[in-house]
A and B are shown apart, each in its own frame.
Chain A
C-alpha cells in the first residue's frame, strides 16, 4: 500500500482547504515574481537616453506614480490574501463540541515513539497501543496531544497541518480521513538524537474493519500455544517487563511501547524497520544498530532464547 505524506495530495477536508489555499498563494506569488523580475529586466535592457547622473523631472514624476500604483496593488493583494487566509483558518479550526460519532484518542509523544490510548466510556476505558493509529473513515478523530518529555509535533501532511505536543500542556486537534490508506506522520519538532526516526502511521479504514481491529485490540494477549510458551517465559524473566507490557502475560512498565498486539503492526521502532521476523530478532539483539541513541538498552537474550522470544512475539496478533 502506498504510504501518503503530501501537502498537495490531501485526503481530508482540512488538508484539502489548506492545499486549495496553497495553490492560490503559489499562483499569486508566481505572478508577482514574474512582474518584479520582468520589470527589472526591462529596466536593465531598455535603451537609456539620459546622460550620466542626469535627472529628468518628468520621468521621476512618472516613476513616482508607477511605484505608488505598484505599492497600492501590493497592499490590495496582501489584503485579499489575508482575508482568504483568515477564512481558511476559521474553516479548519478545531470544533468545540464533539459529535456522537467522535473517536477520542490520547496521543503522547515520547523520545522517540508515539503512545496511543483510545478512550471509551465503558471498561476497560482505555486501550493502549503504539506507533500505529487506526482511524475509521469519514469520522472526526479528536486527538489529545501530550508529551512526556520534550516538545514533539504531530504532522500528517495528507490530513492536516501541525500541532505541537508540549510537556505540561494538553491540546486538542481534530483530524479526519476520507480516503482509505496509510498516512505518514513524522515527528515535526526536533526532539533529540532520533527525531528522524519517530514516525507515526495513520491507518484509515472503513468502519467495519476498524471495528474488527479495535475489538481485537481490546482483548488481552492470548495464552500462548505450547510450542511458544518458552518465549513467554523468556519475556517474563528477561529485562523486558521493566519497560514493556503485554496485557494478559506480563504487566510491566509503560515507558516503552505496549506489545500486547505487536505482531499486528506494520513496522518496528516507530517506522524504523518493517515488522518481519528477521528484523525483530535483529532489533531485540541490538536495538542501537538501526536506531542509535534510542532508549532500548542492550540485553542478554540471545541464541535459543532469542528465537523463542521472537516466535512468541510473532503470535501476538
Chain B
C-alpha cells in the first residue's frame, strides 16, 4: 500500500498477477479499479428560479471547456485554471440536471480544489458542496466492461455513449450514477455507489465475481498510471501543474476561448500571442533503457532542453515511452533527442501521441 493523497492504495494486486497482468487485462478483457480517492464537487443553483442558469455561469467561470454545450446526462473533460492560465487541476464536468453539475477531481488536490471552487463561485447564486465522502467510485475498464456491467444492471448501457452517463439500479442499489468515462484510453464505466464499507465491499466483490467469466483482474495505481500514459492522458503534478499552461500541455481542444470570459483566459490570450516556449511530446526510447519521471532531456549536441514528466515501460506496447516538455523546435515527430538515465545519455525519438489508441 502507498499513501496517495491521504488514501492507502495498492500499487498492484500481486496475488492476482501484478501490474503487467492488470494492464493487459484492461487492454484485452476488463479490470476494476477502486478510485474512491477521486473528489466530487456538486454545484447547484440556489433559489426558486431554477432557470436562472447561475450554476452554468459559475461552471463557465471556473473551468475552461464550454459547459453550455453539455446536455443533461453528458460529461466532458475540462480544467480549473489559475489567473496565469496554469492548472489548479483537471476535472470531468458532468451535467446532472437543469441547474446541477458534478465535478470529479483528483485526490491529491481535493481540498485545495474544493476551497478554490467555493471561493470562486461566491459571486453566483449557487452552492458548491464537497460530496466526495458520500461515494465509492469504481472504474470498470476494458473491452469487456460493458458485457460485465450489463450483468449487474438493467440500465440501457449501449445507449450510454462515451462521456455520457445515466442512473440506474446496480447490484440492487437504486439510482447509481453510471458514467461511460475512465482514465485508461479504453472503453469503460465509472460507477458511484454509497461509500459505507458494507455496500462498497458488496459491490466490489460482486463486480469481481461477475467479471470472472470475462477475465477480470482487480487493478491498482500502477496499472492506472501505465494505462493513462499509453493514452497520453495528463496527470496532475506531471503533465499539468500550476506552472504549466494549457497551450504547453497541448490541451487546446478542451479550452474554449470563444465561450466568454473565464479564470485564466486573459493570461492564455497573452501566452498565445507570445508563442510557446515548450510543448509536451511523446518519446520512445531507441537505446536500451527506461526514461523515468523528472529525467533530463538533451538535444543531440548535449544541451539540456527539457525534462520527462512521466516515463515508464509500456506493458501493452512493449516499448519504453515517456512524455516530456521540450522546445517547439524539437517537437516534430522523428526528432532525435537524448534522455539522461543515471550516468548515460540514451537515444530517444519523438513519436506521435497518443502512444495507444483503442480499436473501434
A and B interact: no
A residues contacting B by CB (< 8 A) are: none
B residues contacting A by CB (< 8 A) are: none
